[in-house]
Structure 1
């Protein structure tokens, strides 16, 4: 492997690590990402770090400012409101199409995804919120399974991008709302309506699910 290939491979690794830390809230919104700081934090050289930060700026998770370097993209109520509105539009279409294309295999995969989510603790600590990566993974898997039968790879890619951005906001407010909103009831209701083929109810429940999160996050940001 030549030198440039090694840099690209290393840049991909650090890109994924920084991205995970931004989405989880470990790197706070507005934090200055000085090259020296990032290199030291992740034990990576300057060249792959710059490449990774440039990629993250294209994703909208990092802001690049002329002469001032990089910083973690700020958050705002206005941006989140626009994000939720767009996500509701896209996932409503995807869910409608998934139900229209329903199959036994899709329904079984969806039920399994819900079962795995419902069996996983929201927090690693029962007394206070502690980030549980297994729950996060299964939560994403359930929401992906809901719309995975829509028949459009493009639509799924857009929905995944929206989900990444929304998860960042949701995690920032997770500690404040735990344990009031940790049960599977909202997800179960969405599942039941979807499996029953009740399109309008399923779409309405999904949108309400996201808007409830929006309300919580907006209160937290305020």
Structure 2
């Protein structure tokens, strides 16, 4: 079963998922979470052993990831994880704001009681994980990654645009990669943003929600760029 791509990490394998799809999800997760760092070479033989898949299937998967700009195909030199840059981060932030704000308008106009219930449930799960993170339980970071997307996705789910949600989910994950590389949770500021966004969603206040998303993303960029590894990036 294929859903919006974002939160590939969150999905549970089912009987319909092919080996290739499962490896695609795992490899993509490893890139987004920084397990495979930016600029690192993806050696096909080692990757074949790590992910238990044939070289030909692995090449196909890497080409799919290349289409998302998560992997660079270097011709005869093989593949490497895409590097990061301040410019790409800014572009991803702008694109996420445009897509998410548009999806909010569509979703708020058509959302029903079931949609509201899904937002309440998603925020409840997210808030519980954020409380653990604020208490210093950094082992919950992966849970936060999953719950953060589930919450944002729930808010825009009633937009009923598969294409829009697919593009948003891809951009969301690519933006998330920068947060994971920065390696620190933004703390109470993020929690407060999510609470306000939750309230605006239930009030169907699209303009208010758009303002929160815009500041939420912009503040995230500023937080990332304060980390030492990004200070010298072009």
Identify the TM-score tier after normalising by the shorter chain. 0.7 to 0.9
The equivalent residue for 2:173 is: 164
Higher relative contact order structure (alpha carbons within 8 Å, sequence separation ≥ 6)? 2
Unaligned regions of 5+ residues in structure 2, if any? 1-16
The equivalent residue for 1:32 is: 41
Once the two structures are superposed, what CA deviation does each residue of 1:5-32 show, in whole Å capped at 9, x if it has no partner?
xxx9433332221111001110000000
Decide which of 201, 216, 233 is 1:194's aligned counterpart.
201
Unaligned regions of 5+ residues in structure 1, if any? 1-7
- Counterparts in 2 of 1:127 and 1:195: CA distance versus 1, 3 Å: closer
- Counterparts in 2 of 1:179 and 1:128: CA distance versus 1, 3 Å: farther
Decide which of 119, 133, 143 is 1:134's aligned counterpart.
143
Q: How does 1:1-222 map to 2 (within 5 A)?
A: 9-121=18-130, 126-127=135-136, 129-130=138-139, 132-175=141-184, 178=185, 180-181=187-188, 184-220=191-227, 221-222=230-231
The equivalent residue for 1:4 is: none
Q: CA deviation at 1:47?
A: 2.3
- TM-score relative to the length of structure 1: 0.86
SS at match of 2:42: coil
Larger Rg: 1
- TM-score relative to the length of structure 2: 0.82
In structure 1, how many angstroms separate the alpha carbons of the residues matched to 2:189 and 2:97? 22
